[in-house]
Amino acid sequence: MVTEFRNESLANFNNQDVAKKMKDALAFVALHLGLEYPLVIGGEKVTSKDKIKSINPGKPSEIVGIAQSATIDQANAAIESAVKTFETWRYVPAKERADYLFKAAEVMKKRKFELSAWMVHEVGKSWAEADGDVCEAIDFCEFYAREAMRYGEIQPCLNLPGESDTLRYIPLGVGVVVPPWNFPFAILAGMTTAAWVTGNTVVLKPSSDSTVIAAKFMEIMEEIKLPKGVVNFVTGSGGAIGDTLVAHPKTRFISFTGSKAVGLHINELAAKHQKGQRWIKRVSAEMGGKDAIVVDSEADLEAAASGVVASAFGFQGQKCSACSRAIIVADVYDTMVEKIVEKAKNIKVGPTVDPQYNMGAVINKKAFDSITEYINVGKKEGRLVLGGDKAHEDGYFINPTIIADVKPGSRLEQEEVFGPLLAIIKAKDYDHALQIANDTEYGLTGAVYSKNKAKTDKAIKEFFTGNLYVNRKCTGAMVACHPFGGYNLSGTCSKAGGKDYLLLFLQSKAVGELVGQSSGGRP
């Protein structure tokens, strides 16, 4: 019997026994750095001539693992494998597919600390951020397994007299899944499993910055004995093989999470009909954000300052949901700036293998250079009140940086930075703050702090974000609690982790069947 869904519990690293498990996992991973991981096409492990090195951003001399740089021929072979497997996988009952997913969740629970340790090394996550990533992956598996069984049932319709009228959901076909590096296990697992648990087959192309944890996901698929060809694994750059996968005439849908620029490119490429293509491709895209926390004069200022700092600097600000703008009404502006700065000063930056550091390196040199450039822009557009400099000699570490007195409409107020850089903007009043919050091309997450219910109700009506939080931080969406996805150029509002999400991987078939007379012989 399938029990009611419950979110996976986060690890308490203040418990010595729990902390020891994490330390042991980190030691285990350290012994297995630098290994090579193959492509997986039709269940066969394949190598290529060119390789991709996954580097620890906190220690660039450390090679976490070596992946293959797939060729166009290998990308095409992965599609063909998925096409072939789809012809049988599509008819596997929903309950049987869901059982594979329940098994995957159990394996993830057993390997929880090891999986977290890989992300500490590969993308610089803190212990808590890495644990949250694995817990979310487990939640996706558990939740989507239950949802797949729900959608697998025949849906009743209003019956015409003399008819039995029903609707059923069927899979789309072959999907290309392109997950990001910032939630390299959770989002990858969520997007990929949602596709195959609904009867589709997949070509998975992870970010080149997080190939090793993606390979660990494929190990789990092998461990649960998921049929060969259901998930085909290819690593390589978007320019080398990504366009090939998206444009292939046998690709039925694309699920993408990443930058606005890449998301728009995928959407444009997928919209172009290819020779031999028999459908309009479906694109689900989660892209960028320029998320704001609005602080009213009637707010709990201590709670608001804590929420801003947690949202702005968790995982180095490398979340599409991160608070990159704190919009504060004039009456409490100076007080709030002071409180935010004081709390941010307590953040310890350094190699996250050491639990004393709760903020690690940004993902790579390109990100480091881009964020540094935005800091220089911010120094011209506003007033530097904290940070602005590199932390540590080795690695891509940037201290938490806060720029106050940023003007609405300026670059720092409008453009996504994706790093530990917070812009603070002064608003004349609460209505002006909401106006500023809405005045970007994005619409992903946001939060408001106010004890005045009329004001929070106004935000619920008017703050144009896919995920809005009241009197709490704007990061930390939980599966089944906060279906995740935004508006405008933040994406297609896919609502991952919600009851609508699996519909993105299904199409509906209505059946009207005449009853009460034989279906054979003469009328």
To the nearest 10 degrees (0 to 180), the angle between helices 453-462 and 430-438 is 20
| Confidence at residue 517, expressed as pLDDT on a 0 to 100 scale | 61
What is the pTM for the complete model shown?
0.97
Side-chain-side CA neighbours of 337 within 13 Å: the count stands at 19
Instruction: Could you please state the CATH topology (level 3) that the domain comprising 16-287+491-509 is classified under.
Output: Aldehyde Dehydrogenase; Chain A, domain 1 (3.40.605)
Structural domain boundaries in the chain = 16-287+491-509, 291-470
Helices (H), 8-92: 16-30, 72-89
* 3-class DSSP state of 508: strand
- Cβ neighbors of 430 (< 8 A, separation 6 or more) are 294, 296, 297, 329, 450, 455, 458
For 181-214, the pLDDT digits (tens) are: 999 999 999 999 999 999 999 999 999 999 999 9
| Confidence at residue 519, expressed as pLDDT on a 0 to 100 scale | 47
Residues labelled catalytic: 286, 320
| Confidence at residue 267, expressed as pLDDT on a 0 to 100 scale | 98
CA dist., res. 357 & res. 199, Å (int): 43
One digit per residue, the tens of pLDDT, for the chain of length 523 reads 899 999 999 999 999 999 999 999 999 999 999 999 999 999 999 999 999 999 999 999 999 999 999 999 999 999 999 999 999 999 999 999 999 999 999 999 999 999 999 999 999 999 999 999 999 999 999 999 999 999 999 999 999 999 999 999 999 999 999 999 999 999 999 999 999 999 999 999 999 999 999 999 999 999 999 999 999 999 998 888 999 999 999 999 999 999 999 999 999 999 999 999 999 999 999 999 999 999 999 999 999 999 999 999 999 999 999 999 999 999 999 999 999 999 999 999 999 999 999 999 999 999 999 999 999 999 999 999 999 999 988 999 999 999 999 999 999 999 999 999 999 999 999 999 999 999 999 999 999 999 999 999 999 999 999 999 999 999 999 999 999 999 999 999 999 999 999 999 999 999 999 997 654 443 4
Residue 27 burial (CB count, 10 A): 11
Instruction: Could you please state the CATH topology (level 3) that the domain comprising 291-470 is classified under.
Output: Aldehyde Dehydrogenase; Chain A, domain 2 (3.40.309)
Q: Which neighbouring-strand residues pair with 168?
A: 509
